[in-house]
A and B are shown apart, each in its own frame.
Chain A
Amino acid sequence: MITLAKEDYEKILAHAEKELPNEACGLIAGEKNGNDKIIKKVYLLTNIDHSNEHFSLDPKEQLAAVKDMRANGIVPLGNWHSHPESPSRPSEEDKRLAYDSSASYMILSLMDREAPVLNSFKISGSDAEKEELVIG
């Protein structure tokens, strides 16, 4: 199970909406307790692809985020990105570039602007499994 505070969900949603029509992206960090993860901080990073079909995190911002996590005693838990026009599920490219099977990959679909959908996945090779996500 992975837990995300409602205000952090709203930060992700606001950033993703601001970046439309492009994909938005960032990192999630927090604490691990067995199989459970608690997100303590979300990072809103620049998509250096500036594309509605691809995203790549800005390495300089990524470095700053990693240092911030270390300074705050939290650990990297995974990343998040938006799908402006497609469902909340990993694409083939998402799977190909998901090298860490222990990470959580969160995908926010804005396909229906009135009803955004956020899911979190574990990805191992070509297999993606949705994990229980609690927002609140």
Chain B
Amino acid sequence: MNITVAGVKKEVADGLTVAQLIIDEKVETPIYVTVSINDDFISNDSFETTVLKEGDSVEFLYFMGGGR
């Protein structure tokens, strides 16, 4: 199936989960990553169970924060 990852169209295996995509894309420090699918943010707890669908657009956003 075809999905878009960070603006780039890709062909991936049917049934791919977000957790596997994070591995495949070699996402660094996934603990700090928030994932959106079609502009909806998903819970980090659901990476393993969220299965991507044809046409999905996925973005990885790195948490940015700090303090004085």
- Bound Cα distance A53, B62 (Å): 20
Residue among B34, B39, B66 with most chain A CB within 10 A: B66
Collect the chain B residues with CB atoms within 8 Å of residue A79's CB.
Answer: 64
Does A62 lie within 8 Å of B61, measured CB to CB?
A: yes
Does B39 lie within 8 Å of A63, measured CB to CB?
A: yes
How many chain B residues touch A (CB < 8 A): the figure is 17
A57 within 8 A of B: yes
Collect the chain A residues with CB atoms within 8 Å of residue B36's CB.
Answer: 59, 63
Collect the chain A residues with CB atoms within 8 Å of residue B34's CB.
Answer: 59
A30 within 8 A of B: no
B18-68: which residues lie under 8 A (CB-CB) from chain A? 28-29, 32, 34, 36, 39, 41, 59, 61-68
Range for the number of chain A residues in contact with chain B: 20 to 34
Main secondary structure of the interface of A (DSSP, over half): mixed
- A49 interface neighbour in B29, B32, B65, Cβ under 8 Å: B65
- Bound Cα distance A52, B64 (Å): 16
* Interface contacts beyond A53-B67, A53-B68: sample of 6 additional A-B pairs, CB < 8 Å, sorted by A: A23-B67, A54-B66, A54-B68, A57-B64, A66-B61, A94-B67
Interface residues in chain B, defined as those with a beta carbon under 8 Å from any beta carbon in chain A = 7, 28-29, 32, 34, 36, 39, 41, 59, 61-68
